[in-house]
Amino acid sequence: MSTTTVLVLYCLLILLASLAGGLVPLVVRLTHKRMQLAISLVAGFMLGVAVLHLLPHALMTVEPGFAAKWLIVGLLSMFFLERFFCFHHHDAPQDNPPVEDGAHAHDHGHTHDHGHSCAHHAHATLGDAQEHRLGWSGAAVGLTIHSVIAGVALSAAISSETLTDLHGAATVSWPGLAVFLVIVLHNPFDSLTLGTLMAAGGWSAASRHLVNALFALAVPLGAVLFQLGLAGTELHESRAIGAAVAFSAGVFLVVSLSDLLPELQFHHHDRGKL
């Protein structure tokens, strides 16, 4: 199977997963515990892919100093993106979080004082509809840029493993599989965020479906843009691939270590499971 075919297949599956994430609040009643367990799984997986998969591939492609610089660029880019757009919201889309299976109740009606200044971070209440009417647009911009970057990461990972093949390594049947799994597991949460914020702001179901459909195209767009940027270049001569893979590693590090994993620190129940 050609790498182009693999990339198209991955993008189609990610698109479907993103669309499904936006539909979840309409068909499934998520619980607080289930959401946090899923976030814990994705955070650990994303951290492992960044350190054990993307970074080693970057170091095989370009010299360590060059890879380190692009790792920092990716890390700082995503840090400032999350700092100023504040677009992640990781809680079940319901007014009254349930107490499930004897777990201690977790009151989301307050804001934890741990250095975060944005009103729509993971620990903010959904009660103020006017805030969310204004806040979902910032979330949409931040999440869209985030997803375009994820598409670049996917395309770069596939290209880097193809590059490894050109250097004589064993053939990779499904290049970029680890990065694909990270995106397909994480993207539904982003779609869920947009749908939840828009619903809290009083937007119609039709409007939410339209925004979700447009957002689902962000990852394929990033993948296409990266491939167009490589058009006419030889993979084994392109330093852009090594830079993009190192950049993606920095992005994944920030999302896992500064966004997803700290979220779990404020849940004193189910510590072992999380």
Give the helix/strand (H/E) hosting 274: none
pLDDT band of residue 30 (cuts 50, 70, 90) is low
Tell me if 106 sits within 8 A of 269, measured CB to CB.
yes
Amino acid found at 256: S
Q: Using one digit for the tens of pLDDT, what is the confidence trace for 61-71?
A: 889 999 999 99
Tell me if 207 sits within 8 A of 35, measured CB to CB.
no
Question: Which of 64-68, 153-157, 163-167 is predicted least confidently?
Answer: 163-167
- Count helices and strands in the chain by DSSP H and E runs: 10, 0
Better pLDDT: 244 or 88? 244
Exposure string over 225-237, b if 16+ CB within 10 A, otherwise e: ebbeebeeeebee
Q: Using one digit for the tens of pLDDT, what is the confidence trace for 71-102?
A: 999 999 988 887 776 555 555 555 444 444 44
In degrees and rounded to multiples of 5, residue 233 shows phi and psi of: -110, 155
Question: Which of 5-19, 86-100, 116-130, 211-225 is predicted least confidently?
Answer: 116-130
Question: Which of 43-47, 51-55, 242-246 is predicted least confidently?
Answer: 43-47
Better pLDDT: 47 or 2? 47
Tell me the mean pLDDT in the region 137-146: 83
> Is 50 exceeded by the pLDDT of residue 199?
yes
Q: Give the per-residue pLDDT at 164.
A: 56
